[in-house]
Chain A
Amino acid sequence: MVELSAEQIAKLKALGATQKETLVKMGDDFKKEREKDAACIYTCNATGCRSGGSVSVIDAFRDALAAAGLSDRVRMVGTGCMGLCASGPLARVEIKGREPFLYKQVTPDLAQIIVAQHIAPALKDAAAPLNLSKKLAGHELSLKLPFFTKQTKIVLKHLGHSDPENLGEYIANGGYRALMKALEMKPADVIDIVKKSGLRGRGGAGFSTGLKWEMLAKSAPVGGEKFVICNGDEGDPGAYMDSCILGGGSHAVLEGMMIAAYATGATSGWFYIRAEYPLALERMELAIRQAKKYGILGRNIFGSDFNFMADLRYGAGAFVCGEETALMASLEGNRGTPRPRPPFPTEKGLFDKPSVINNVETLATVPAIILGGADWYNAIGTATSKGTKVFALTGKVLHSGLVEVPFGTTIGEMVNDIGGGTSTGKKFKAVQTGGPSGGVIPASEFRMPLCYEELKKIGSIMGSGGMIVMDESDSMVEIAKFYLEFTVEESCGKCTPCRIGGYQMLRLLKKIASGKGTRADMDKIRDIAAAMQRGSLCGLGQTAPNPVISTMKFFADEYDALLNKGRKG
Chain B
Amino acid sequence: MAEKMDEETVAKVKGILLPWKGKRGNLIMALLRVQEALGYVPWEAMEIASVELNVPMARIYSVVTFYNYFKLKTPGKVVVMVCDGTACHIQGSPALVEAFEKQLGVKSGETTSDGLFYLQVVRCLGCCGLAPVVVVNGKTYRTVAGEDVAKIIAEWRAAMG
Contact = CB atoms under 8 A, between A and B. Distances in A.
Given A333-B26, A468-B86, A470-B90, A48 B129 contact: yes
Interface string B35-65: 0000000000000000000010001001100
A275 B87 contact: no
A335 B127 contact: no
Contacts of A235: 123-124
A435 B129 CA distance: 16
B87 A314 contact: no
Given A240-B124, A316-B68, A400 B129 contact: yes
B25 interface: yes
Contacts of A52: 130, 140, 142
Contact of A316 (B25, B32, B59): B32
Given A48-B130, A85-B127, A238 B32 contact: no
B58 to A, nearest CB: 11
B70 interface: yes
A216 to B, nearest CB: 19
A334 to B, nearest CB: 7
Interface in B85-140: 85-87, 89-91, 122-131, 133, 135, 140
A402 B129 CA distance: 9
A402 B130 CA distance: 12
Interface in B131-154: 131, 133, 135, 140, 142
Interface in A369-426: 392, 394-396, 400-402
A474 B90 CA distance: 7
Interface string A224-261: 00000000001111111001100000000000000000
A432 interface: yes
B86 A275 contact: no
What interface size band does chain A fall in? 35 or more
B70 A240 contact: no
B90 A396 contact: yes
A24 to B, nearest CB: 34
A48 B127 contact: yes
Contact of B89 (A88, A234, A243, A482): A482
B25 A333 contact: yes
B33 to A, nearest CB: 9
A322 to B, nearest CB: 13
What interface size band does chain B fall in? 35 or more
A483 to B, nearest CB: 8
Contacts of B122: 276
Nearest to B138: A278
A395 to B, nearest CB: 6
Interface string A478-489: 010011001000
Given A314-B28, A394-B129, A396-B90, A333 B63 contact: yes
A336 interface: yes
A317 B67 contact: yes
Interface-centre pick from A51, A351, A402, A432 (highest chain B CB count, 10 A): A51
B24 interface: yes
B89 to A, nearest CB: 6
Contacts of B127: 47-48, 51, 85, 240
Given A240-B127, A314-B28, A336 B66 contact: yes
B17 interface: no
A51 B140 contact: yes
Interface of B: 24-29, 31-32, 55, 59, 62-63, 66-70, 84-87, 89-91, 122-131, 133, 135, 140, 142
Given A239-B128, A270-B25, A486-B123, 15 more contacts: A88-B129, A240-B124, A240-B127, A244-B126, A276-B69, A313-B29, A317-B70, A318-B66, A318-B67, A332-B25, A396-B90, A466-B86, A468-B86, A483-B86, A492-B66
5 contacts: A235-B123, A240-B127, A314-B28, A333-B28, A392-B87
